[in-house]
Amino acid sequence: MIGIFDSGIGGVTVFREILKELPNYQYLYYSDSFNNPYGDKSEEELKIITNNICKYLVNNGCKIIVIACNTASAICKDYLRDNFEIPIIAIEPAIKMVYDNSYDGKTLVLATKGTINSNKFKELYQKYDNHKSIIYECRGLADLIEQDKKKEIREYLIEHLINFKDMQNVVLGCTHYPLIKDEIKEVLGEVIFYDGSKGIVKELKRKIQDINLKEEEPKIIFWDSSHKLEKEKRFYQILELEK
Ligand code: DGL
C-alpha cells in the first residue's frame, strides 16, 4: 500500500497523475481537511500534525509515503524522513521545470506563506531562478479551494492576479491550485502551468523499484480527518472515478 497525504483535497491533483501511471497498486489517501490550511501554521504545529499522519499511514500498512502538499514537504520532509524508516517522497514547486523549459519566460510563482518562507524553497529558488520570476504568496486561497467557494475564488483571483497579465508561465506551488487552472486563465489569459506532480510520479516509480513493491489488486481508500461526506464525493469527482 502507498500512502498519500495533503491538508485536504489538493493532493488529489497529485494522486490523479500517480494513478494514470501506476494504477495497479493499493493507495490510502489521507485528506487532513480538519487542519486545513497548512500554509499559515508554524513549523512546530506542522511537524506534530504530519508526524501523526505518517504514523497512521505506516500503521495501516503503507510502504511508501507521498507528501502531496508543497507546504508540508518544504517544512517537514527532512524531519519525517528522520523519524520513519520507509521512503518518504515529497513534492516541490516546479521551478526547475521552468528553468529547464522556459528560461526566458516571465514567470509567476504562486504558493503558500509556509512554502515561500521555508529554507527549502529559498534554496530551490536560488538554484533555479530564471531572473524573470515573481513570487506571490496566496494567503487564504487554498482554504477557499478546499471549501469549494467558487465565487470567492474568482473574486480573490481578480483582486490578487490582475496585475500579472503579462506572465507567460505560472508555477502552481500548492497542490490545491491545479484545481483552479480555468479560473486563473480567466484572469491571466493563456499561460503555461507548471506543477510538481510529474516529478513526483517519476520519483515514486524509482522508489517502487528500489523497495521492490509488487503490483497488487488495485484499491483506493479515502480518509478525511474532518469526516465530511462531501469530501469523499469531491475526491472521486476529481479522480473522475465512480465510488
Ligand atoms: N495543498 C497544500 C500545498 O501544496 C497546502 C495548502 C494549505 O493547506 O495551506 O501547499
Q: SS3 sequence, the chain?
A: CEEEEECCCCCHHHHHHHHHHCCCCEEEEEECHHHCCCCCCCHHHHHHHHHHHHHHHHHCCCCEEEECCHHHHHHHHHHHHHHCCCCEEECCCCHHHHHHHCCCCCEEEEECHHHHCCHHHHHHHHHHCCCCEEEEECCCHHHHHHCCCHHHHHHHHHHHHHHHCCCCEEEECCCCHHHHHHHHHHHHCCCEEECCHHHHHHHHHHHHHHCCCCCCCCEEEEEECCCCHHHHHHHHHHHCCCC
At 68-116, the pLDDT tens digits run 999 999 999 999 999 999 999 999 999 999 999 999 999 999 999 999 9
Q: Are residues 179 and 202 in the same domain?
A: no
Q: Are residues 123 and 185 in the same domain?
A: yes
Average pLDDT over residues 51-77: 98
44, HSE (Cβ side, Cα atoms, 13 Å): 0
Measured in Å, residue 17 CA sits from the centre of ligand 1 at 17
Q: Does the Cβ of 197 fall within 6 Å of ligand 1? A: no
Q: Are residues 139 and 150 in the same domain?
A: yes
Q: Are residues 212 and 174 in the same domain?
A: no
How far, in Å, CA of 104 to CA of 96, rounded? 13
Confidence of residue 243 (pLDDT cuts 50, 70, 90): confident
How far, in Å, CA of 71 to CA of 76, rounded? 8
* Contact present, 2 and 62 (Cβ < 8 Å): yes
Q: Residue 199 above 90 pLDDT? A: yes
The total domain count for the chain is 2
Q: Are residues 79 and 107 in the same domain?
A: no
Q: Which of 54, 62, 69, 76 is catalytic?
A: 69
76 is catalytic: no
Mean pLDDT of the chain: 97
Q: Are residues 87 and 101 in the same domain?
A: no
Ligand 1 atom nearest residue 36's Cα: 8
How far, in Å, CA of 101 to CA of 32, rounded? 33
Q: Are residues 74 and 158 in the same domain?
A: no
Q: Are residues 139 and 83 in the same domain?
A: no
- Which structural domain range is residue 219 located in? 2-91+197-239
Rg of the chain over all Cα atoms, to the nearest angstrom: 17
Grid cell for residue 183 = 479560473
Q: Residue 170 above 90 pLDDT? A: yes
Q: What is the pLDDT of residue 208?
A: 98
Average pLDDT over residues 134-144: 96
Q: Are residues 30 and 148 in the same domain?
A: no
Q: Are residues 173 and 109 in the same domain?
A: yes
Average pLDDT over residues 51-72: 98
Q: Residue 24 above 90 pLDDT? A: yes
138 is catalytic: no
Average pLDDT over residues 173-200: 97
Q: Does the Cβ of 178 fall within 6 Å of ligand 1? A: no
Residues 6 or more apart in contact with residue 216 via CB below 8 angstroms = 1, 24, 25, 26
Sign of the Cα torsion 57, 60, 65, 69 reads negative
Average pLDDT over residues 129-148: 95
Average pLDDT over residues 46-67: 98
Measured in Å, residue 214 CA sits from the centre of ligand 1 at 31
Query: Residue 108 maps to which CATH number?
Result: 3.40.50.1860
Confidence of residue 242 (pLDDT cuts 50, 70, 90): confident
Q: Residue 28 above 90 pLDDT? A: yes
* 88-90/64-67 β-pairing: parallel
Q: Are residues 103 and 187 in the same domain?
A: yes
Q: Are residues 225 and 207 in the same domain?
A: yes
